[in-house]
Amino acid sequence: MADEYKPMGMSMANLTIGYGVMMILWGIAVSYLSDSNSFTSYIPSFAGVLMVIPGVLTNMQPEKKKLWMHVAVTVGALCALGGTRFFMVMSDGIGYAAGSSLMLFVTGSLYTYLCVQSFKHARKSQAE
């Protein structure tokens, strides 16, 4: 489709890859900075890997773009949902864990919103 939805001038596949890489780096940085030996401090990194994979597969298999982007938005929505934990622990102060939860909530919500806008744009383009 020539008139592809491109927030910030990026294709949704490349935005997905960038978001995934950002989450991978976030999880590694938070784990390192907090000297955490906990598996849970790497949750953003694992979610990031789950974002990078469908983003790369969308670029490799453009004929299956719809499938891979639906997988990616599902992961994004799960990040936002998991990030709601922030609201349960925010009264304890914002430490590394609460900060990661807030990051997942905000970025996961924004990413999900952009995906929904992309899906709506694609639907309108098909109707024309």
Instruction: Transcribe 7-39 into DSSP letters.
Output: GGG--HHHHHHHHHHHHHHHHHHHHHHTT---G
Is a pLDDT exceeding 90 seen at residue 29? yes
23 touches 50 (CB < 8 A): no
Token look-up 């609201």 returns 87
Q: pLDDT tens digits, residue range 98-114? A: 999 999 999 999 999 99
Distances, alpha carbon 7 to alpha carbons 62, 87, 102, 115, 117, in Å = 19, 28, 22, 10, 9
The more confident residue out of 30 and 126 is 30
The pLDDT score that the predictor gives to residue 1 is 44
31/115 Cα distance (integer angstroms): 29
The pLDDT score that the predictor gives to residue 45 is 96
**What is the average pLDDT across 112-118?**
96
Q: What is the pTM of this model?
A: 0.90
**CA dihedral sign of residues 124, 108, 15, 75:** negative
Lowest pLDDT segment from 46-60, 62-76, 86-100: 86-100
Beta-carbon contacts of residue 48 (< 8 Å; ≥ 6 apart): 19, 20, 21, 22, 23, 24, 25, 26, 27
> First vs last Cα of the chain: how many Å apart?
12
Lowest pLDDT segment from 5-19, 55-69, 82-96: 82-96
The pLDDT score that the predictor gives to residue 111 is 97
The pLDDT score that the predictor gives to residue 109 is 97
The pLDDT score that the predictor gives to residue 2 is 52
Q: pLDDT tens digits, residue range 75-92? A: 999 999 999 999 998 888
